[in-house]
Amino acid sequence: MSNNQVFLISIKEEDIVALRNSINIILRDYKGEVPEELVSDFKLARFIKGHGANALSAFERHLLFRQEYNIDKVRNEILEEEKKQGQLKWPYFMEKFKIILETVWKNIPPAFHHQCSSEYHCVTFTILANYFFSEITSKNLEELWLELVLYCDVYFDLVLHRISVKHNTPCSRLDIVDVTGLKIKHFGFKTISLLKKMGALSQQYPEMIGATITCNVSKVGLQIWNMVKGWLPKQTESKMKLFTADYLSFLKKLNVVPSLLPSRLNGSCTCSLCTHYIDKSLLEVCIPAGTLYSSKKIQCQKGDLLCWEIYENSANLPFWLTYSVSPEENESSTRESNLSVTPMEVKGSQRCRSSGSVYLEISNEKSWLHSQNVIYALYLEVNYNNISSYEQK
């Protein structure tokens, strides 16, 4: 049985009718035009599934929330942008959030809306460590970030409504969260209060998230999870699944096959979103004193444009690219000379000298005592045309 059927069976038609009769009375006082996604059968079913007998009061709370946060204004802005662009714009790319995108995220958003699964569920990717929450708080961008969270909720409200209506099936979000590199230090007091506020906002949209699949959970990740789960609404908690590295088989059960996943998550999707953004996402590593760090290998063809970015290399650690002619023959690997020319931030690129695999090595071998943090990305530049639209399969 599909997840959609499971969803539908749990909701009785007469409950939807009863809820509709009650809300029709309240909605007489609605200021402005009532948005269609607010009153669709699917939306009412989400309230019933999420709140049971309390669906009506939850709906009333949602109306108050819409007033308080000016949701109809946000919605209009998103629709205006769509008129200009021809398709809904992922809020992370909207002009009003540019300052976070540029200064904190170096133009690569930490969350993406990907294509739909075969059951029309919206797959989203989040690289949690790349939110750089401490930078958001140190740059006083918390309020703007919460606004972005709000815009994303409104965005998904529209998207899920449209897909549900088009395919006559209650679709929801499948959130895939990569927690590689997440550390306790990313969760300072300010970050925790920020996440709590985010959780409170998203609670206003019941049953939008079908499942949250957390990948690459380490020991530290588990500790963080135990810390975080206390603040999550109970329903959200039950929808979260934690995995170390064995998430692919679980995702397959949800019809999220490797062709829908970026290579970062061991998938094979070559859509513009995956190749242009997710493969370029930054990775933070701590390199212990006296050791050499090797990145994951990238398969390349002779002539491919290979790019690297290195940040926070405050100790100016030397780094270089190492090519292996064939992935198995490590003997035949050749090191490019030290590429570190400018301290702190380095971006560069070069054409691959040969086909095979290539990886980045960063050396902290000279240090006796101090481990060093480095944030980097290594990726192949791929020609791309369009950022994938949510309608594409």
CB of 257 to Zn ion, least distance (A): 12
Counting contacts by CB under 5 A, is residue 55 touching Zn ion?
A: no
CB of 271 to Zn ion, least distance (A): 3
CB of 130 to Zn ion, least distance (A): 17
Q: Which among 32, 78, 50 is positioned nearest to 233, based on CA atoms?
A: 50
Contact pick of 128, 271, 282, 317 for Zn ion (by CB under 5 A): 271
Strands (E), 192-336: 209-215, 240-242, 283-287, 292-294, 298-300, 305-313, 319-324, 334-335
Closest CB to Zn ion among 47 and 112? 112
Query: Is residue 162 within 8 Å of residue 113, measured between CB atoms?
Result: no
CB of 39 to Zn ion, least distance (A): 33
Phi and psi for 360 in degrees, rounded to 5?
A: -100, 135
Considering only 123-131, 206-214, 232-240, 273-281, which stretch makes contact with Zn ion by CB under 5 A? 273-281
**What's at 81, amino acid-wise?**
E
Gyration radius from the chain CA atoms: 23
Closest CB to Zn ion among 152 and 271? 271
Q: Binding string to Zn ion for residues 251 to 270, with x set by CB under 5 A, is what?
A: ------------------x-
**What's at 6, amino acid-wise?**
V
Please give the helix or strand (H or E) that residue 276 lies within, else none.
Answer: helix 272-276
Considering only 48-56, 84-92, 182-190, 274-282, which stretch makes contact with Zn ion by CB under 5 A? 274-282
Give the orientation angle of helix 142-167 with respect to helix 71-85, to 10 degrees. 70
Q: How many residues bind Zn ion (CB under 5 A)?
A: 4
CB of 121 to Zn ion, least distance (A): 15
CB of 262 to Zn ion, least distance (A): 6
Q: Binding string to Zn ion for residues 203 to 242, with x set by CB under 5 A, is what?
A: ----------------------------------------
Alpha-carbon separation of residue 43 from 25, 73, 190, 327 (angstroms)? 17, 20, 33, 51
Closest CB to Zn ion among 48 and 274? 274
Counting contacts by CB under 5 A, is residue 274 touching Zn ion?
A: yes
Closest CB to Zn ion among 138 and 389? 389
Q: How many residues in the chain? A: 393
**Cβ neighbours for 357, distance < 8 A, ≥ 6 positions apart:** 297, 298, 299, 300, 323, 324, 326, 327
Closest CB to Zn ion among 163 and 265? 265
CB of 237 to Zn ion, least distance (A): 28
CB of 43 to Zn ion, least distance (A): 28
Tokens describing residue 126: 């989040």
Closest CB to Zn ion among 213 and 269? 269
CB of 263 to Zn ion, least distance (A): 9
Give 364-376 as a DSSP string. -TT-SS--EEEEE
First-last CA distance in the chain: 21
Pairwise CA distance, residues 135 & 103, whole Å: 9
**Cβ neighbours for 221, distance < 8 A, ≥ 6 positions apart:** 179, 182, 214, 242
Counting contacts by CB under 5 A, is residue 38 touching Zn ion?
A: no
Closest CB to Zn ion among 44 and 116? 116
Closest CB to Zn ion among 273 and 362? 273
Closest CB to Zn ion among 278 and 310? 278
The contact set with Zn ion (CB under 5 A) reads: 269, 271, 273-274
